[in-house]
Amino acid sequence: MIDAGGTSILLVEDDAETRHQVATLLERHGYQVAEASDAESALAKFADGRPDLILLDLGLPDRDGLDVVDRVRAAGTTPILVLSARDREVDKVLALEAGADDYLAKPFGMAELQARIGAILRRAMPAGTDSEQPGIVRIGDLELDPVSHSVRVGGRPVHLTPLEFEVLRVLAEHAGQLVTYGRLLRAVWGTAYGEEAHYVHVYVGQIRRKIRRADPDGHLANLIVPEPGVGYRVSAEIDPARG
Ligand code: CA
């Protein structure tokens, strides 16, 4: 559980009832919440208060929520979690490609919302909390070292090619968050490859096979979760195997 103390959230939602419910829950968990009901007031409050995180409804009365994503991204890296009734894959992709950090379709459960906020805030925290081995990413039995380019599962080495390693590194460093095909492709292959989603499927398939060989009990079987038509998400909450 992340310590919400002092974390400020700008909640942008035009539906008063939903806004009130979400704001009440967030405040109960210790977040400081500012509310906006349209894009203009959202951008004004963003400029004023520079929140730690923005929860953004896409369907706003005055402007498209994607405009808000664009404007916030032009100003910096403030994390954005999109909340929207739009369930079309193209909308998720557009929001994520515009720079939103994750996407939660309405209706959503409060536990799901908290998990997504926690994942985004952990990601946004300065690195180096593991002072003995900076940069090492651990998820359950998986250990990924970006410096030595090595991957271990339960201490057993997993031999990935450099491109497989990069795909897994980008996903693992965004654990808990949805990473679109386009974002993965640009991060790993470069800007010319934004449309080649089949590359990603092939590499993720290879990574899964290699991890499975080092993980005979299947502790990491659900490590990489597909979001069909959009991208992949690495689970943030996998307990290490015992004993
Ligand atoms: Ca709306």
Q: Tens place of pLDDT for every residue, the chain, 243 residues?
A: 455 667 999 999 999 999 999 999 999 989 999 999 999 999 999 999 889 999 999 999 999 999 999 999 888 889 999 998 876 777 888 888 888 888 888 888 888 898 888 888 877 765 444 445 568 899 999 999 988 889 999 999 999 988 899 999 999 988 888 899 988 988 888 777 767 788 899 899 999 999 999 998 898 999 999 998 899 999 887 777 654
Cα(78) to centroid(ligand 1), Å? 21
| Tokens describing residue 9 | 């959230």
Cα(15) to centroid(ligand 1), Å? 6
At the fourth CATH level, which superfamily is domain 8-124?
Answer: Response regulator (3.40.50.2300)
Write down the pLDDT at residue 223. 95
What are the φ and ψ backbone dihedral angles of 135, each rounded to 5 degrees? 85, -15
**Cβ contact 191:234 at 8 Å:** no
Cα(195) to centroid(ligand 1), Å? 30
Cα(181) to centroid(ligand 1), Å? 27
Cα(86) to centroid(ligand 1), Å? 10
Cα(196) to centroid(ligand 1), Å? 32
Query: Among the CATH numbers 1.10.10.10, 3.30.230.10, 3.40.50.11540, 1.10.3720.10, which is that of 137-234?
Result: 1.10.10.10
CB atoms within 10 A of CB 195: 10
- Measured CA to CA, the distance from residue 118 to residue 4 in angstroms comes to 9
Cα(49) to centroid(ligand 1), Å? 22
Three-state secondary structure string covering 150-193: EEEECCEEECCCHHHHHHHHHHHHCCCCEEEHHHHHHHHCCHHH
**Residue 152: strand pairing partners:** 143, 157
Cα(67) to centroid(ligand 1), Å? 14
Cα(155) to centroid(ligand 1), Å? 48
- Measured CA to CA, the distance from residue 119 to residue 129 in angstroms comes to 15
Write down the pLDDT at residue 54. 97
**Residue 139: strand pairing partners:** 142
Q: Where are the domains of the chain?
A: 8-124, 137-234
Write down the pLDDT at residue 209. 95
Cα(95) to centroid(ligand 1), Å? 15
Write down the pLDDT at residue 129. 46
| Tokens describing residue 95 | 């929001």
